[in-house]
Structure formats: C-alpha cells, structure tokens
Structure 1
C-alpha cells in the first residue's frame, strides 16, 4: 500500500490527474454511478480500471468476478469513465478507486483519490467540526492547518477547503474515517504558505449525508404574451421560469400592480440535473388573463419565495409590435417664439394606423387625427404647439397611436431636456497689428457656459442688423466632463467704416433668457495708446499735418512721395 501511495504522488507531480465524484451514502438495493475524469493525458492511450477497498480489507479488483453487478462505460469527448453499480448491499460499502496504467506488466501509474460509497439503512448523524493549528516545528515558510470532524455516521465524508477569496483549494490530504463508540471521526490537512496565513482566512467544510447541501438560488425569467395570442384569442399568457435551485421547496405568487392575484395559474416542478451530490430543480408557473388586463398597461410580476430569499421579475409594460417613435426637437429659432412646435412621428412595418394623438400627462387630449388616410400609410405624424411656459417648466406630453396590429394603443412620452443655463459673453477688440496693417479687422464674440446647445448669434452695427455674410458662427462644442457648451462668432469690419464713429454689438439669443443678451464695443479703430511726436526737419517745400480726435492723417502738396513721407509713416508705426 505504501508503494501505491508513492506512485500516486508521482502522478500528481506530473500534473496527470484522475478526478473522482464525491462520496455517496445509499440505501440497500439502490444503484450508484461513479465518475472518473482524466486530465493531462489521452484516456484512449491508457488502460482504465477500478479497484475497491472495504473497511479493514485489502484491495479488490473489480473485474470479471463482479461483472454482473458492475458496468464500465466511458465518454471519450469529456475524458470521463463511469462505474455503475446495481443492487448494492451493505457488504459493498468501500472506497472505490479509479486507476490507469500504460505498461503491460500491470503496475498502476496513476490513482484517483477514491470515492467512498456507504450502503446503510441506519439514520445518518451530522458531524461536528473543529479547527486544528500547527503547534510543532515545520518548514520555515510553510504551515499545516487541520480540520477534524467527529461524531458522524455513516463514515462517508468529504472535506473541502477554500480561502477568503472563495477560491477552492485542492492540494490537501484527507485521511480515512476512524470508528469510535459507534461514531466516526475524520481528519483533513492543508499546507499553506506563512505569507498567506497573515493575509487570508481559510475555511474547512464537509459534505455528509446528514448535512443538507447549501441552498442554491434560481435564475428567474418572465415571458410575456405574444401579439398573435392577444389578437387571435383575446387572452394574455405569462410564464415564469425558475431554474437551477435547491432545495426543492418553493412558492410562486403572481402580482398585478404589486398586489397578489388569483387568476388561472398552473405550476410545474421537475428535477433539472444531478451533479456533485446535489439535485437542482426547475419550476414553471403559467398565468392567463384577459387581453384588456394586459393592454391597459398593468404591471405583472412573478414572485419566487425560497430558502435563499425572495426574488421578483416583472414583465415588460407592453408588447411593442415593432413601432418606432421619433420626436422632432424645436430649432434654435423655434424656442424663442411664444409657441414652440413639437412633432411626433411613428413608423410601422405594416400599414393600418387608426389614429394618432397628443395628450397631456393627465391624459387630456390636445390633438387627435382619426382620418381614413392613416390606414394606407407606414408612417404617421402629428405636431402640436406648446407655450413658452410649458417648455420652460419641462411639461410632459404623451404621443399615442392606434394600429390594426395593436390590441390597444401604444405610446411614448416627450419631455424637454434639463433646465437651461444662460451663456456668458465676451467681446474682444482687434489686435494693434490688425488695426495698422490689415485692410479688414476681426471682432471676436466668445459665448460660453450655456445649455442646451441651441444658440443664435447675430451682429449689429450702430443698432442695425448686419447681413449674415459679414460674420461666421462656429458650432456649439461641449466642454469635456460638463453638460455646458461654448462657441464663437467672428465679424469682419472693413477699414472703410473707420470714418464713422460707430459701435458694434454681438447679440445672443438663448432659451435661458426671454430677451436677447447683448455686448457692445465702440471706437473700434480708436487709438488706445499715446503718440510720441518726433521733431524732424522736412526738406519738402510744403507739408501740412491735419489732426483729428483719436486719428492722425498726413497731407502733402508734394507731387511725389519723398523721404519726408516715409519718415512720417515710420514714426506712426512706433508711436
């Protein structure tokens, strides 16, 4: 036996594993199916066998002598072999080992950890767990933790370890159960790094026939009525599916608008799957109501009560029938008017509209069209005009349509976006170099911090609107990480207008203000700096200088421009 254990350790070092199903306790006369999943090698290249060891006995080969009771099957795609035993008796209680070998001399290369099968009619007793800590010396960087289970029957028990991250730990030792005074005791050991001991918690758990498995919550789904059922039968059927839960006990309740209902309900429950010793269940509940109870926008909810808690799942508010609603927002100019237009457009895949209407939040109809022309179109639309006050207060409106494929009506709500934020406006003068060297100068109007993005910018000259060809408006751009926007507008001013003592205004219209916001700049070509007079003796026989307020002009009777004119121009640049 010692040599067999040593060979098993060699198999683990080579990363070749035989993973067996957990221990099981069954009653006399029942059957059991054990599994052995191979990894890191091709099972078709090895011989697979099973050996069992009864309590206090030697190893027993499960071969031809037991052929009538035991059957071997395999599933090559999943690399799994199965041992199925029928009509088990108390003397079949044993640890069943899955083994394989490659060599023809029949020594065994790899062993599974074994599956303990206990056949008994006795009442099971749950174990009590005690943690054990290392008290002696050991490797400097390792610690050994222990877990002891006492006072249980039958002897079949399975230990499991996990850390504080709920990661399963598999590199542990489980010793065979030992009997004392009619009860059993089992021990498991886990080696960990000392560094992990300082940063993590470790949990020992056991699986035993007297310990119910931890409850498992279901996945919950609700299926709503189809439009074919509603149209053809004038009924609406719901289905509530709960899958993958344990234990089996549960209760399903249907709610209408959060209140229990007692309409026609049918429930079904069935085993879903068996694995790792736990049976999972699925349940389905069907509810049938009149189609009018569904199409009046009532809310139906499936409530699932279980040991894991209560879950609820609500069906969609209504079947949408492939209708597409689209609202056309008012333009920047529209929102400055006393009445603001809002348009609702609805598209369908089939012809057959019966009506389209607008309603207020209290269902008061403010517009309705039931014309015959609606029946022969895929698209219908309706426009209403709301007051400035309704727009500012973000009043809610409802667009509703009727269609031949709808059991009732379908609708969408419209409400303006968040409250507006007023813009900040700055008007910038042209630079000195532009004033002196360019034929045209540019005035820049910066508009920032406004919401929503729609804004109108115009320019005025001495109070009169300028044509849009004189200026250009940039797009509204959203600030990064903010809901507000900014933009700019540029006005080109020719120097020909410098003869006029005039002003220019940037006028901004935004829905945050009932009146235009205006910024004005005057004396665009005025000098905001001092002029330094330089005395120069001019040889030209006749030079006249004419001075105007904030402007300087030169005049000469010379027929040609000589050095005196050049000096005058140069002095003007440096004043």
Structure 2
C-alpha cells in the first residue's frame, strides 16, 4: 500500500491529510491555492566525538522538507538505548530557493562500556537509520613486532634458564602472548605509552630452562589489537640440520710460507643458519671461543686462532668444536701432537738414465721444519707440503757426483724445528742394503736326472748390486761358481750361475743354496730341497675306469697315488712290468699329496697274455709301483644265476620280473637274451644293464631283467641265454613252474589221529592263502593254530592243523570235522570215535611203524594171564613149604 500526502494550502499554514488508496498511483489535491509542494526525505549522518572517558554520538537529520519533528530512536545492539537522548532542531538553510530543515539527536557513552562488539544505531523512520561501531570507525595499522630469541652464550654459561624477548608497538590495550610448538605459554609483559602516535610499546619476555628450550622447534610472539585480527612473528628455536656438518681443524700452507706458523684454522661446512660458537681446544680443554652468525643461504664458516705460547709443546694436540646448542655440537678430528719432535727420512733415488751422479732425497716433518745438508751440496729442488694432521713436510733433493758417492762418503740430512732437531745419514752401503737382490733358483728337471750316467745342471739367476758374488752351498760344502755378468744398468748386474753334477751326486744332495753377497757386507740366499721329504710311504693303484667302460671305452686305465711328496714326479705305465708304454711328468704343489693319471691301452696290447701296472717316480732311486691288473684281456667264463619273483608278487596286478645275474667274465663283450619254452622273446620286454668292471680289475659283471609276459601258464619255462667268447656254446640258465604257486589248485584233505590230538593235512594246493576250521558235531571248536604253508619243488603248498583231543573226553558217536577254506572252494573231512575203536592207528614213540589196537589188546591179555599164573605158582609153593615144616 502506498501513502499519498494531500496538502491543503489556504489561509491556514500547512494543513494536510493523508489518504490511503488501493491504486498503484497517488493523487494530490491542493485546497485553497491549489499549488503542489515537493516532499524531501532527510539524510542521516552519525558522528562520533571521543575524549578521555566518554564518547559523544550525534545523529544528524539533514535537508528535509516540510518541517516536522522526527522521533529519533537509539539502539544499543538490537536493544533500546537505556540513556536519555537530546533532540533539537538546527538552523534552516536555503537550497536552490527552497527552504530545508535540520534536526540532531545526541547520546553519551562511557568508554569503559565499549568493546569490539559494541554497536549503536540512530533510527528516525522505518528506512532512515545509521549505525556506529568503534572498530569500523577507527581501523588499526599492523603492529610492529621485534622477536629476539636467547643468545647461545646464555645457554652455554651454565645458567639453568634462558630468556626470549618480544617488543611490540601496537594500539593501547593490545594483548601479547607466546606460542611454543602450538602450545600457549605465559610471559612477562610491560607496556609504555607512545603519546605522539597514540600507541603503546609492549615488552614481553619468556623464560625457559635450557633443557626445555632445546626441545622446542618454533617460537611465536602473537599480538592481538582491539578491533583487529591477530598478528605474529615466528622464529625457529634451532634451525634444522639437513646434513651432518663436517668440522676440520688445519693449518694454512699459506701461513707457513709467509712465516706465520702458530695459527690454526677451524673450518665447518653443511651448517644450518643461525648462531654458533666456535671453540678451540688443547687436549680437550678450551683455549679460545667466539660466536658467529651464519646467515640464510650460507652453510660454511671459518675461524682462526693464534696458539698461545704455553700450548706450543709436544704434549698438546688440538681440536675445534662448532656448537649450535648445548647438545648440538660437532667436533673435528685431533691434529695430533703437531709440536712433537721432527722426523727425517733420507732416500737414494734410483737412476735409470745411467747418469754419473747419485740423487739423494730428504723429507723432514715437524711443526715448522727447515733442512740443512752436511757436507754442503748443491740443492736441486725443495718443496713444502701440509699434512692432514697439521704438521708440515719439507723435502730437499741434492745431486752427488758418482766418484764421491762410490767412495762411501756419508751424507747427513738435518731437520731443524722450533722444538728440537733430527738427522739421518746415508752412504752407498746403507742405501744398497735396503735393496734386496732378486734370486731365481731352478733345480734340474726329473727327466734329465732319470739317466744316472748323465750330468745335470741347476741354474741361479740373480739381479743384484754391482760386484756382487754368487756361490753355491750343498750339504755344507761351498762352491764358487764362475759366472758371466750382464750389466742392465750402472747400478745393478744380472748374473746367471750354474752348478753341474752327475745324476748320482745330485741325488745324494739334500738341499742346494744359491747365495748372493752384495757389497757393504749384505748377503742373501735362496734354498731348495733337491728332493722333497717323504713323510709317509706313498700308495699307488692301477684300475680300469668303470665310467669309461660304461661309455663304451674298455681300454682306459687310471693310475692313482696318495701320500706323495710335493715337487716334480713322473708317472709311468708298463705292460708285464717291463714293457714301457707311456710316461708323463707332473709338478705337485705344496699341500697336495694325491694325483690321478689316465692312459689308453694301445690296440696291440689289448689281447691275451698282458697285465698292466703303473710307477710313480721322484728320482732315479725313489719310485713306487702299483700291483698288476692281472691278465685283464684273458677270457673268463661268466657265472649265470636266475632269481625268481616272490609268491606275493606273482598274483598281483603289477608286472613281475625275473633277474639274470652274469658275473666274473672277461673280456667285456657279451650278449644276453631271454627265451620262453625255448622260443626267443622280443627284446622290448627285457633290459640289459651296462657292463661294469670290478674295482680290482678282475673281470666284469652285468644283469638282465625281464618283465614276465601274459598270458601266464603254470608249466612255462623261462631261459636266460648268455653268449660269450669264453664258451663255444651258449650258457643257459632256466626256471620252470614259475606260475605253479599262483595257479588255483584245490587242496587234498586228510585227517589223522595221534595221541591226544587230531591232525588235518591239506596238500597239493595253490596259491598259499588258506584257512582251516575244526568242528565238533557241526559246532566250531576254539583253538589256536598258526598255519605255515610249505612250498614243494612243484610250486604246490602243504599245510597241517593240530587239535588237542583227550580220548577219555571224546564221547562215543561224536564227530570231529576239518573244514578247509581256499580260494578254490571249501573241502572237509570228518572222523568219529567209533571209527577210531574199530580201526585206529597209534604211533609208537620208539618206532616209526604203526600198530593196530587189536594187537595191543592181545598183548595186554597175555600179560595178565602170565601174571595170574605167576601168582598161583607163588601161592602153591608157599603152601607146600608150610606142610613140610609141620610134618617135620
């Protein structure tokens, strides 16, 4: 709904009514003068004035028409202001001929009531309002922060605590706080006003223990101004160490050359940025320290120190230490005792140009060494070098005329150092002594010593100093050798000395020595054993190689020997102990005592009448011979055996085999095949093994295996047929009835009675598995009986079962039955007591013949009659005697 104002202009001043209408436009009707007047809404401005403890807010409603008194409302946040505003009009003004009006409203606020969220609103009408906020009215500048972490010196002086400081220039009432590794920490704060800038200088300090300080990574000073976000400054407590720093202590060669001798330099690289201390130490005790600041992008630092005079002695060594914190430190290696006593080294430089002079070279090492020569000579060159341990090495080289040098003049090199001096001398004798001659001693080869009538020669080649003497010593006897000399240079000579002896003399020697005597009394020698000692009697064997025979080569012999001495040996193969076949030479090294040599027997010796042996020889008189192989090519008839499969293997589903073993034959050529019922079988069903030799070489052996073919007949006969040159006819071994024990045959059963037992005999049956059960009147009788079938020559089996039966307990008419259960079916036979009475067999224990029961009863009756007659005779005799006595 829109509002329209109808102003009536007449003799009355500014009377108007407001009409409401539902139309989308307004219509103004002027009464009286009927003249239209424009309505102007006021503009609103909110002003603020601040003093020490109050803030004055002024709400200005300006340039509105017509004149009216607006009702001004004040809000504190969203609630009405609790104070009493002052509202009053101001002077009117004319704008483009029109008169406009102004109105103000004032309120007063205590500064203590203001905070960052305080907000005040001046509202004159529904859509005429203005808001004042202290923070929006006075935007603040970024505070100035100066953060300073503790100095390293404060952490190294032994104090238990260190202090960091943060100086801040910011608006009054700003808050300063500390943050270490994202944890708030309390500090100590002091604030000083800065009147000219209306700011405060705030100083905050944070005190920590040294141990706690080293554990922190980042230090933050945080500032919060009123009406402003937080600002902060951060520093790393310790800059991270990305690579382990390297610290070196050294002396500068430039200082030495300039004469500045007692200066040490500490150099460190791969350092992080930040503050470091550099400390120099003597024997681990600090003698100097200074602090350096390594800026960003720099990782090296170099510090120098003059060594105090008190430490310039041989008892001190020096180190330097670079420290980032009490626990982060890196130390150099020690310089060593750089003020120690000087050393000197004097050398003779080899001259390969055949010059007529000798060059001497002297090295002197010390803290600040200098070299002098005696006698004085012309110095060719000098040099100065710095060693890793801080000591200095100087060198000096002089040239000495050859005629002076060869006379044995002694030259002295003296090294002078601030502490003391050192010297060394050299002459042609002392210099030559350090050069050991080269001696190559070769004893005669065994091949030249095998003929005892010949002379043999040993040689000694020596490279030594000029005018050296060569001599031979054998078994304590010295022999001077006349030797040619070849000068390879002006300083040495090459000597080839020989010693010639007969083979007999040579073998008598135990050892030979080639001795070299150089000028100035220096002697060297080389000794060899003529023959290496035999510690244990060697064993020599000759054998046929089984592996070579398997490969089809039956003519390879191997000579094997053990417990041999080292040195040169010959291996000789012989036929019939006196016919030479082949010789070879081996050089057995130290630590090895065995050898094996092979030999192929020539075709002309591969025949009857030849045996072979081998001989290992160390010298013409020291030899060891193997046993003979025997006449390995003489024919020997093979022994042939056939081994049948077991009864368990025959009836199974897997294939059964026969083995034919052929042994003790010679030579190795042999032919083996199989026949069934005198008909040769196909070679695909048998396998012949390779021919192998016995370890002693006495003949060969092999075997042949045949898989028994199907169908299998009970009376088949298999034959192993062997053809060999030792027999004019084939050697045949056969086996028959192989399948008899596996062919089904019904057992025959017979029951017999012995004293107090019954015997059931099952015989002429196959296969062997069988079961026997005893029945008494068709009831099973329990008894223990272990059946052990016996196999006969025809391949059939027999077995018996015994049942204990006491005759007195066997009721008349009772029947015992032997029931035999077999794969072919059940068979039984019975026996009763009546049958035993009528006709029974007893076994006399003393005879092997059976007697009938009737005969036994007859004998018993005769015995009883005899006994009765004997008693009657005895009674009659006694009666007659009594009668005669009474009559008398």
TM-score band by shorter chain is: 0.3 to 0.5
- Return the index of the structure with the highest Cα Rg: 2
Tell me the TM-score normalized by structure 2. 0.31
RCO comparison, higher one (Cα < 8 Å, 6+): 1
